[in-house]
Structure 1
Amino acid sequence: MSKNEWAQPFLKWAGGKRQLLPEIIKYIPANIDTYYEPFVGAGAVLLHLQPDKAVSNDINSELINTYQVVRDHIDDLIADLSKHVNDKDYFYRIRELDRKEEFKFLTPVERASRMIYLNKTCFNGLFRVNSQGQFNVPFGNYKNPSIVNEKVLRAVHDYLVNADVKFLNGDFAEAVEGAKKGDFVYFDPPYDPVSDTSSFTSYSLHRFDAKQQIRLKELFDELNDRGCRVMLSNSTTPFIKDLYKDYHVKIVGAKRNINSKASGRGEIDEVLVMNYGEE
């Protein structure tokens, strides 16, 4: 299947991989049976590779619903997105829906439309929820945000309907239960914080702490034993470098544009961990 260059991330996402893509693709295996991405996020790697067969997972149910709607109901989604306006009062009315009983009665299309609208108009494109699972990012006050990027949305739709891409909404370990020799798994988990104030794991109610990082490493080991080729990206903390010291570790630079403080943006070092050599 030929690639569509317009099939790109349609959401801005904390930890998104668009900036790191040039480094990641240097080390992607040439031949992949099934591509697995248990923390798909905005899907930069998935949409760049556009594999014929993939299993994509995320713990964020609103995100996975949005992918499914882009695949299955693109015309209805674009029509609903066109109803939204870039207005502060309107933004807060839409944002407050998940605090009301009526939220559970929204259709999948309406939920996906809300997700994309909030992402395009909220401050810095963050997706963040509070302890009750309610979206709590303030209005971004942007002059002319692209709420309806129809060309990109239709390109992503075309890819998803022409490829065998399965979307899951569960634990990262469950997402790779079927992975076997010949498959490629890319892990892009919430990063180990480089400082006490840098942690951002509020994509959902589920926090990703050191215990989860250790559980992920144990799964990395298990996939290695199965014969899968596995790549993981994370921050260059001593904890992560020690955790994966038995594997190939590459230090790479990536720009970060999502941070509540301007001083936290810019180029930072990250690690790519692989259980195979350069191909």
Structure 2
Amino acid sequence: MIKSPLRYPGGKSRGIAEIAARFPTRFDEYREPMVGGGSVFCHVRQAFPEVQCWINDLNHDLVYFWQATQADADALATELHRIRDTEPDGRALFDRLKATDKETMSPFERATRFFVLNRITFSGTIEAGGYSQGAFAGRFTHSAIERVRALSPLLAGVRITHGDYAPLLFGEGESVFVFLDPPYLTATSSKLYGAKGHLHTGFDHERFAELLAKCPHNYLVTYDDAPVLRERFAAEHLHGWSLQYGMNNYKQAGAAIGAELMISSYAPEGITTVPLPETNPKRAQFALALETKLPYPACEPSP
């Protein structure tokens, strides 16, 4: 099974089986408006190879990565190998990439920059994170780079776009299934996505709920398990579950276990619905938790 090479805050690589068990029985098109690290997308492409796919994200550099990999994964992997072989000083590499004006770079260069920073920062937080020597030594490896090359067949014929999630909710289509993994409500202080976390803290959860209510297609959402979300989506099909995250606080030896909520517009077949357990407030605030004060300089906002 080909897996995503990206480290992504809140990524669902460890929850694929639980998520896939709640997919609709049949769908002809798969859309992921907030594709992020793409773990669920990679699973869909291999489990349902005949299904058309449309992936999207608001993070432009992330989209450049997916597009560059689709266009020429070999060229991207070759350049990444070159950087790994010629850059022995991870801190200097990090500082140089962070200081570079992205607006002067080509889409291919921005894709390359994105992947390198994804592999050498704390938990892959790119613009919102800081340099990690451990990640440089153990995550930015030739084997990790080869996983970029392996993505090539999965991206053939896939529509990849940059922008708001709404067009994927309302675009016409038959037997469409939409999977959404929005920024989590109880972890907004963590500022995980974008420069200074603007793609996280700026997410409008109320707009998201309102648009979902109007979506004409089958959808499945993974959210954090919080009382306000259970109340807001009470009319939908809800399922509480737990997920161990791959990212962790820089002071922690291991990653937290999060209380999750799956919300679907349909009743998954073959699954018995059971009452949701009472929410543990502390657990719901597992906060994909980075400290608000990190031991490195704050990132500059992107242009």
Q: What TM-score do the two structures reach when normalised by structure 2?
A: 0.77
Which aligned pairs between 1:2-151 and structure 2 lie closer than 5 A?
Answer: 5-6=1-2, 8-50=3-45, 51=48, 52-84=51-83, 85-98=87-100, 100=101, 103-129=102-128, 136-142=129-135, 143-148=137-142, 149-151=144-146
User: Within 5 Å, which residues of 2 pair with 1:260-279?
Assistant: 260=249, 261-262=251-252, 265-279=255-269
1:157-201 deviation per Cα after TM superposition (whole angstroms, max 9, x unaligned): 11212xx3111111111233314451001110001116x85x434
CA distance in 1, matches of 2:203, 2:106: 36
2:210 paired residue number: 218
- Secondary structure of the structure 1 residue equivalent to 2:18: helix
Q: 1:10 is matched by which residue type in structure 2?
A: P
| Alpha-carbon distance in 2 for matches of 1:244, 1:10 | 33
Q: Distance between the aligned counterparts of 1:207 and 1:113, measured in 2?
A: 21
The worse-fitting range, judged by mean Cα deviation, of 246-255 and 166-175 is 166-175
Cα displacement (A) at 1:232 = 0.4
SS at match of 2:21: helix
Q: Which ranges of structure 1 fall in alignment gaps of 5 or more residues?
A: 130-135
Residue in 2 that maps onto 1:133: none
Q: Give, in whole Å, the separation in 2 of the partners of 1:36 and 1:202.
A: 21
Separation of aligned partners in 2, 1:210 and 1:247: 25
Greater Cα shift, 111-120 or 84-93: 84-93
Kindly indicate whether residue 226 of structure 2 is the aligned counterpart of residue 237 of structure 1.
Answer: yes
For the 8 Å contact 2:120–2:131, the answer to whether it is kept is no
CA contact (8 A) 1:192 1:209 kept: no
Name the % identity.
24
Secondary structure in 1 aligned to 2:31?
strand
Give the distance between the partners of 2:206 and 2:134, measured in 1 at CA: 40
Post-superposition CA distance 1:209-245 (Å, at most 9, x none): 597111111111111xx2x111001001111111111
Indicate how the Cα distance of structure 1 residues 200 and 19 shifts in structure 2: closer, same or farther if over 3 A, else same: farther
Equivalent position of 1:184 in the other structure: 177
Is the 1:254–1:270 Cα contact (8 Å) retained in structure 2?
Answer: yes
What amino acid is the match of 1:186? F
| RMSD between aligned residues | 2.3
- The superposition leaves residues 128-180 of structure 1 with CA deviations (integer Å, 9 ceiling, x where unpaired) of 33xxxxxx52233343434343442222111212xx31111111112333144
Question: Shift in Å at residue 90 of structure 1?
Answer: 2.8
Distance of aligned partners of 1:70 and 1:211 in 2 relative to their CA distance in 1, 3 Å threshold: closer
Distance, in Å, in 2 between the alignment partners of 1:78 and 1:206 is 29
Distance (Å, rounded) in 1 between the aligned partners of 2:130 and 2:28: 39
Count of residues in correspondence between the two structures: 258
- Matched to 2:139, the amino acid is P
The 3-state SS of whatever aligns with 1:15 is coil
